[in-house]
Chains A and B, each alone.
Chain A
Amino acid sequence: MDSQTVNTSRPAFNLLPEDLLLERKHSSKLVFVNRLSIVVLVLIVLFASGTLMLRLSQEAPLKKAQETLSGAESKITALKDRESQLLTLKQQLGLIDSLSGGDTKKRAVFNLMVLSLPFETQISDLGVDKNGQMEAVLSSVSVDSLETLLVNLTNQEKNSDLIRKIELNSLAVGKDGQYRFSLSITPK
């Protein structure tokens, strides 16, 4: 209340010259700008130090990770023999498996013929070549046996879909009443 009274009662007068006032104003502005610049510079330097520290802080984890990696690699190297032995074993097993399966067709064709043979039919001569192709000369007392044999051989349930073609090459009846016939069997 008093000050209002003073203000109203005593009007303020600035008696300093205009130039001096302007210079003071400029000077204070300059000081403010300079201080602000220094603050910005300090902040930038601090930020730069921060990034440098951040970068340097990665050195230790990197070294640790590299040590772990080299440890794991040396462990792997030490165990390499085990793996190569296992691999050799697997390769040999694969080889044995592939070599053993090379004659399956020949055995199957031969076995099929033996199993399909009717009781009264006899094999005179039989041959299975490298491709599994069978040539057989057989004899029987009746043609029915031949028919039974052919039915057995062509029965897909019995031959496990093994046969592609059966050819009756010859059929003859001898003086003794025996039927002689020759067959060619081609597997699939």
Chain B
Amino acid sequence: MTAVLPISAEPAALARQDVTPGRWRRMPTKAKAGAILLGLFVLAAIIGPLVTPYDPSFQNPAPDLSLHAPYGAHLLGTTQSGQDVLSQLLVGIRLTLELALLVGVVATALSVIVGVTSAFLGGVWDEVLSLITNVFLVIPALPLLIVLLGYLQTKGQTATILVLSVLGWPWGARVVRAQTLAIRNRDFISAARESGEKTWRIIAYEIVPNEVSLIAASFVNTVLYAIGASVALAFIGVTNLNDWSLGTMLYWAESQQALQLGAWWWFVPPGLAVAFIGAGLVLLNTGIDELGNPRLRDAASASRIAGRWLRPADPTPVLADISQRRGRLAGFLHSFSRGSLLDDTEGGQAR
């Protein structure tokens, strides 16, 4: 039932989709738009704090500068206590992006470790790790984040980064595991194993490089999650409120009734910044998706893959069977997952 079929020619040709900057012109428009949008914000994060016109925390005592609408000296107006919104925004973008990128790096590293280990060890270990992954996927993250951060005495950047990373890996781990399962039995892996390579070397030099585009997509998703979660947490007030991030800006605007006072210049810029960063990430991710799944592209052009002419709308050619053998305990654990639905069916029997 679970005999592994021989693998047809050159599956690597399908899997490899280089995303190097040199191929800029071949990138989908959506990915380009996303990259440009993100680049602008990264630029603002790098040079922004150097060119802020005012200290973001400086409270100008002049009475007419409380809640002043945008004008020449304060391009985005002032808050109720006379602070310059533009300065807060520039500093806030840096802090928020810094946090999101760090969480993205740590959580993606965790998800790669868990996903690759799970798929490579196989058997009971795989099922146990998958079970843990699925459990943490199904438990809603935000309330748990609030409880965890609520108990921490120091609610600074570091604590938030740590907690967000610890809860941010399951999505990535799931995807990486599936991909590792798919390439684990390919010829080049067997060749590496036969030639006596150590397991960690196979993982680091053969498997992970073949999953770069997948890991990139997972990284982008994690950054998106980190921005959303950190801004929401700050908005509730579970963070160090003396720092200037996009979330704390929104928190102060909300708690000092910016909406009721009609001070749109106070809460719209940070919110729009979050939305534009998020949109940039979503666009980038869709672009990466289209790169990997040609059917999602608009063009009706045919291309030659593995010796066959395929149009984007054709079904993906099946090149390798990714089903795996399971021991008794592993099979028992696996039967609790949603994926087990496919096992008892005709498609499953045919393997």
* Chain A bound to chain B: no
